[in-house]
Amino acid sequence: MRLLFAIALLGAVFAEDAWKAANVDRTIDATSQIVKVSTLYSFENVGNGPQSKVLIALSKEESATLSFISAGIDGSKGKLKISEKPAEKDLAVYEVDLRTPVAKGAKVTIRINLRITQVLEPLPSKIQQSDSQFVVLHTSAYVPSLYETVTQKTTIRTTQGGKLLSATTVSPSKQETERVIYGPYVNIPAFETKPVKVHYENNSPFVIATIVERFIEVSHWGNIAVEEYIELVHKGAELDGPFSRIDYQMDRRGRRQPALQQFTTVLPAQAKDIYYRDEIGNISTSAVRIRADSVDVEIRPRFPLFGGWKTSYVIGYNLPSEEYLYSKGNQYALKTKLFDHVFNDIVVEKLRTKVLLPEHVKRVKVATPYAVDRRPEELKPTYLDTTGRLVLVLEKENIVPDHSQFFTVTYEFEFVDMLREPLLASAFFFSLFFVIIVYSRFDFTISSDPAKDAEERSQIILGNLAKSVDSKQSAYEDLIEASQQYKSTKNDADLQEAKKTFIAARNQENSTLTDKIATLKTDSGASAAEKASELLKYDKTVFDAVDNYLKAVEKSTTKTAGTEEQQFLNKVKDARNRADSVLASI
Amino acid sequence: MDISKMNRYTAPVNFASLPLLTTFLCGVGLLLLATFTMIQVTSTKYNRNLLKELFIAATSSVFLGFGSVFLLLWVGIYV
């Protein structure tokens, strides 16, 4: 008995709707290829207490091709959290978290925005070049709801100036030039649907990007390189029959032909070094316009895109890193767009965003504004890399311009790793030098040439002999300088010291000369050694004159050199000349 | 770490100074390379000096290494 009662109570709780839709005002904008549904719900809490969660229903068809959903309290800017719940009776269910509970009996007005893609069906599906494109929109005259709706109205906006071929009538409904209005309907029970078909002219090109591959390459030298590879297909009514360039140029509909003629891609204001090309190369029919807060690239593909036609291209640009990269210590954060503008009302079937981070990054974390599929990481070796750069791969299907939002990648990077690249280049250059150093030490001569060897050796010995002579002569110069010093100071000890140093230096050089002459003798024969030994003796007369010179200096009272001193100086000069002639003769 | 607590990242080398740095570093590197070549060409097997050659090679390669990285950055290859 008690159990039965409990079950009955549970049943009662489920049976009773906790909310009632007091008013629903839905606008379906079907002017482009994206069906934009904006619904203003006015919910009344008819439950037993305050509630903070409300359920929104979408038809199965809508939810299957739903690309983007957002919810907000009407009049305020904040976004509400939405989560998908299990479907009920052919209706997909989404739960909206209102954040602040709504009291019993109170009302709350929320706006739900939907972006539904690829539901407009071209009819006829094949058209001639001069024809216009007509499409059919399938929807329900009643807004799908899990709650009873008191009043509701649906407005379908069709193309401005376009024909409206037919629209299902669900009284009260009316057709106007650019819209079809269903409702207002009163007291529609939950789960009630009324399928309607609207057949109208829609010449906006149904161009879909089958893939957008976006590469974001981060360089810590101060640049973020962005490149997008885009494949476009016109999925509207297919072009039947021939294509005539003349008819196309002379078409009086101009931009209103159902073909993609040109479009504008809006890039960030800091974008520079912009390029736009396809497999053939640069496409010159493009222009860059610099605006106050953006850079607009006007793109005109090589040919207009008619139904069923496709094209692909690459667009790339550089951004300064200070706008998008943040750091603190070894922590770095990249904040940039996961998907960026291609053209208005584009539908992307598959978006693949690849983020190339510098080498040796650690602890990479990704925070995205909406759920994406994170594919396994890749490694991409590029300039001055050793192991390759880490590539994050993020994928998402069914993208609309509303998905153009920022995401954040945080990672750790040591600043010292910046030096790795120049050092790698340095190591490369050093290895080249090293190869030359090693190579030059190998002897590749087939037969030895003793005469040449001896010549090379004696050249070195001669160089050394000349060096010894030089230092011997400079010893004389030092002595003369010391004597000049003496003339002003009259310090005997200093002069004696200078003389001692001079004699020691001369003896030292003479002994090295003797050694070298001995080696020269073994190398180049006795005659050369004979001549070289002259280098030991050539300054004999000068050396003998040193004592006299010093005496003259001691006696001298004038600053200027006396005759005796002058003679000595001349002798030193003569000795130098003699030594040079000896060296030349060897 | 929260991004709002981080500072904007500024590159270690200003892009405006890249041409000057490249010319200077590559220039010094090439001069040393010329010295190295001169030593290699003129010296015989009896008067080679390994330490001197290694020293010139090392300095030259450091200058050329940094210079060429800046050259890459200058021409738009953001390594």
In this predicted structure, the answer to whether residue A569 has a pLDDT above a threshold of 50 is yes
Identify the structural domains of chain A with CATH numbers, from first to last.
17-201 (2.60.40.1730), 207-245+258-413 (2.60.40.1730), 450-585 (no CATH)
Amino acid at the residue A263: F
Contacts of A327 in chain B (CB under 8 A): 6-9
| Minimum-distance CB partner of B57 among A327, A430, A459 | A430
Amino acid at the residue A440: S
The token pair at A237 is: 């009514």
Alpha-carbon gap: B26 to the closest alpha carbon of chain A (Å): 12
Residue position matching structure tokens 């709706």: A149
Q: How confident is the model at residue A336 (pLDDT cuts 50, 70, 90)?
A: very high
For residue A308, what pLDDT is reported?
Answer: 93
Q: What is the pLDDT of residues A134-151, one digit of tens each?
A: 999 999 999 999 999 999
Give the list of residues 6+ apart from residue A19 with CB closer than 8 angstroms, or none.
A43, A44, A45, A46, A47, A51, A54, A55, A147
Probe site for chain A from B18, B69, B73 (most A CB atoms < 10 A): B69
Share of chain A above pLDDT 90, in %: 58
For residue A17, what pLDDT is reported?
Answer: 65
The token pair at A44 is: 């009344």
Q: What is the pLDDT of residues A375-413, one digit of tens each?
A: 999 999 999 998 999 999 999 999 999 999 999 999 999
| Minimum-distance CB partner of A335 among B3, B61, B62 | B3
Q: State yes or no: cis peptide before A172, omega within 30 of 0.
A: yes
Cβ neighbours around B7 below 10 Å, total? 9
Q: Which of A181-195, A202-216, A448-462, B28-42 is the least confident region?
A: A448-462
Q: CB of A308 within 8 A of CB of A229?
A: no
Residue position matching structure tokens 């009873």: A148
Where exactly are the structural domains of chain B? 18-40+48-79
Q: CB of A158 within 8 A of CB of A197?
A: no
Alpha-carbon gap: B23 to the closest alpha carbon of chain A (Å): 15
Contacts of A423 in chain B (CB under 8 A): 65
For residue A10, what pLDDT is reported?
Answer: 47
Q: CB of A74 within 8 A of CB of A22?
A: no
For residue A528, what pLDDT is reported?
Answer: 75
Q: What is the pLDDT of residues A470-527, one digit of tens each?
A: 888 888 888 888 887 777 777 778 778 888 888 888 888 888 888 888 877 777 777 7
In this predicted structure, the answer to whether residue B51 has a pLDDT above a threshold of 50 is yes
The mean per-residue pLDDT over the stretch A152-163 comes to 90
| Minimum-distance CB partner of B60 among A332, A421, A433 | A433
Q: How confident is the model at residue A570 (pLDDT cuts 50, 70, 90)?
A: confident
- Alpha carbon A568 to its chain centroid, in Å, reads 79
Cα A137 from Cα A122, distance rounded (Å): 9
Q: What angle do CA A95, A101, A103 make, to 5 degrees?
A: 120
Give the list of residues 6+ apart from residue A459 with CB closer than 8 angstroms, or none.
B44
Q: At what angle do helices A540-555 and A563-585 cross, to 10 degrees?
A: 160
In this predicted structure, the answer to whether residue A438 has a pLDDT above a threshold of 80 is yes
Q: Which of A152-156, A351-355, A501-505, A534-538 is the least confident region?
A: A534-538
Q: Enter the ipTM.
A: 0.95
Amino acid at the residue A484: Q
For residue A533, what pLDDT is reported?
Answer: 77
DSSP state of A442: S
Cα A216 from Cα A84, distance rounded (Å): 31
Cα A445 from Cα A436, distance rounded (Å): 17
Mean pLDDT is highest, among A96-110, A207-221, A441-455, A533-547, for: A207-221
For residue A16, what pLDDT is reported?
Answer: 52
For residue A15, what pLDDT is reported?
Answer: 44
Probe site for chain B from A426, A455, A520 (most B CB atoms < 10 A): A426
What torsion do the CA atoms of A446, A450, A452, A458 make, to the nearest 10 degrees?
140
In this predicted structure, the answer to whether residue A203 has a pLDDT above a threshold of 60 is yes
Residues in chain B: 79
